Amino acid sequence: MSNTSSSSKSEVLERTKSKNTKPPMYKVYLLNDDYTTMDFVVEILEAVFRHSPVTAASIMLSVHKNGKGLAGIYTKEIAETKVAQVHSAAARSGFPLKSVMEKE
Ligand code: TYC
């Protein structure tokens, strides 16, 4: 038998403070490629990730130079939505832009 209700063994599971308040967070990255235009990536960073034009340009250049770059950090469902939004906007515009998420 499992011990979740401490029936036979006299054990009590205690938790000191903290009701496990924070959900797991996921980093969402953009990946570099040779075909997506810089302007389109900046548009995505502004529209999907709500970055300012200056921050969006800076993240785009870092992706261009380093191969990938952090677009934002979100809970699981929101991160999944952002990734899907990037892929559908890119596909609609005929660009191969990819986005990936990674548990923190
Ligand atoms: N490397 C692309 C170019 O030179 C620009 C680019 C930047 C593409 C960031 C994707 O996530 C990306 N046109």
> Which residues are bridge partners to 83 per DSSP?
none
Other C-beta atoms lying within 10 Å of the C-beta of residue 98:
16
Predicted local distance difference test score (pLDDT) of residue 9: 60
Predicted local distance difference test score (pLDDT) of residue 63: 98
d(CA 8, CA 23): 33
Confirm whether pTM is higher than 0.75: yes
Measured by CA distance, the residue closest to atom 4 of ligand 1 is 34
Residue-wise pLDDT tens digits, 28-72: 999 999 999 999 999 999 999 999 999 999 999 999 999 999 999
Residue 48 CB–ligand 1 contact under 6 Å: no
Predicted local distance difference test score (pLDDT) of residue 12: 78
Nearest atom within ligand 1 for CA of residue 38: 5
Residue 33 CB–ligand 1 contact under 6 Å: yes
Its CATH class, for the domain covering 34-103, is alpha beta
d(CA 53, CA 17): 42
How high is the mean pLDDT of the chain?
90
CA distances (Å), origin 37, targets 6, 8, 13, 16, 54: 60, 65, 55, 51, 17
CA of residue 68 to ligand 1 center, whole Å: 10
